[in-house]
Amino acid sequence: MELFEGRSIIRFSHLFSTEEKCKKYLYELKWKNGFLCSKCNHTHCWEGKCYTKVCKNCRHVESATSNTLFHKVRFGLRKALFILFEMSTTTKSCSSTVLAAKYDITQKTAWLFMSKVRKAMDLMVEQPLEGPSQVLKVIIGNAKESSTGRGPGKGKSIGVAVDISGHFGIRRGYAINLAIGKKNAKNDVEKIKMLPLFKQYNQKSSMSPTQIKRYVKSLKDWLSGIHHQVSAHYLQGYLNEFSFRFNHHNKKSQLFHLLVENMIASNPAPYKLLNKT
């Protein structure tokens, strides 16, 4: 399988010029380490039609997109991969309104898929903090609820934690939305797992927050520069996106492939789950 690396839109367009090529890419990536049936955990299969696999034990047919964040993408895999490419290779990202106009889809559809991508960008549970760290609780957004204009909107409490490297460097950083309401607590399983990590490192940290202030400033500038308003309800997704970009700034040529792998490894996320209604 030819893995895509780089930031060339010309090469990307050539490699993913058809729906079939996109499906083949996901097919080979999903089962590169072997087959495991999602129904019965059997490891032997037949090759099915249209890039599917058929379990030899229970005859379950599984496609390249089933049980992944690509599940039931209704506007085509080619557009989906192009959106992934833009979100992984652009320096600052872009809004769902811009992507909707670019790819001839509705803003709601663009927002839903981008929310799935941001879910795949959540790496804190897989890559916990290590070594010397700094932790800070900050307020982003406007202090007054009546304030208007560009930015994160009403003030929101977040926790920021960074691994430090040297005197000024940051090895890895994460931002956590600390507002977990009772209504959404059952759905915020991943966020609840993160909070003990934040508290643990909050107790250990005794160093000057020089590096962490740089991280917070970059986060605030990014939110203000790209997104018109960010509600507390969806804030964690945007924090995931910023942290993903920040933590992989030295691997820009590999971001698309890494993101596709995360999308395939994650469970489906329908609108009701993302919206948490």
Tell me, yes or no, whether 206 lies in a domain: yes
Q: Do 137 and 247 lie in a common domain? A: yes
Neighbours of 102 (CB within 10 A): 14
- Is residue 96 within 8 A of residue 147, CB to CB? The reply is no
Mean pLDDT of the chain: 79
Residue with the larger pLDDT of the pair 124 and 265: 265
Tell me, yes or no, whether 4 lies in a domain: no
Q: Do 191 and 111 lie in a common domain? A: no
Report residue 13's pLDDT band, with 50, 70 and 90 as the boundaries: very high
Per-residue model confidence (pLDDT) at position 127: 61
Distance, in Å, from the CA atom of 229 to the CA atom of 212, rounded to the nearest integer, reads 24
> Which residue from 20, 9, 111, 25 is spatially nearest to 68, judged by alpha carbons?
25
pTM to 2 decimal places: 0.80
Q: Do 111 and 138 lie in a common domain? A: no
Q: Do 99 and 61 lie in a common domain? A: yes
Tell me, yes or no, whether 259 lies in a domain: no
Distance, in Å, from the CA atom of 113 to the CA atom of 128, rounded to the nearest integer, reads 26
Last residue of a domain, one of 65, 90, 120: 120
> Which residue from 242, 224, 256, 267 is spatially nearest to 118, judged by alpha carbons?
242
Tell me, yes or no, whether 68 lies in a domain: yes
> Which residue from 26, 62, 30 is spatially nearest to 47, judged by alpha carbons?
62
Neighbours of 21 (CB within 10 A): 14
For residue 160, what are the β-bridge partners?
136, 175
Distance, in Å, from the CA atom of 111 to the CA atom of 99, rounded to the nearest integer, reads 9
Tell me, yes or no, whether 125 lies in a domain: no
Tell me, yes or no, whether 114 lies in a domain: yes
Q: Do 112 and 144 lie in a common domain? A: no
Q: Do 157 and 66 lie in a common domain? A: no
Report residue 106's pLDDT band, with 50, 70 and 90 as the boundaries: very high
Q: Do 169 and 68 lie in a common domain? A: no
Average pLDDT score over residue span 59-78 = 93
Q: Do 18 and 85 lie in a common domain? A: yes
Q: Do 181 and 109 lie in a common domain? A: no
Tell me, yes or no, whether 126 lies in a domain: no
For residue 63, what are the β-bridge partners?
52
Range of the domain at 156: 133-252
Which whole-number Å values give the CA distances from 33 to 36, 43, 50, 53, in the listed order? 9, 11, 20, 14
Q: Do 163 and 208 lie in a common domain? A: yes
Distance, in Å, from the CA atom of 105 to the CA atom of 140, rounded to the nearest integer, reads 31
Buried b (16+ CB within 10 A) or exposed e, 121-145: bbbbeeebbeebbbbbebebbbeee
Give the chain's end-to-end CA distance (angstroms, integer).
40
Q: Do 138 and 247 lie in a common domain? A: yes
SS3 212: helix
Q: Do 161 and 56 lie in a common domain? A: no
Last residue of a domain, one of 90, 120, 150: 120
Distance, in Å, from the CA atom of 77 to the CA atom of 103, rounded to the nearest integer, reads 12
Q: Is the pLDDT of residue 181 over 80?
A: no
Last residue of a domain, one of 64, 98, 120: 120
Angle at 121 between CA 191 and CA 135, to 5 degrees: 50
Tell me, yes or no, whether 264 lies in a domain: no
- Is residue 88 within 8 A of residue 6, CB to CB? The reply is no
Each residue's pLDDT tens digit, 69-95: 999 898 999 999 999 999 988 877 788
Q: Total domain count for the chain?
A: 2
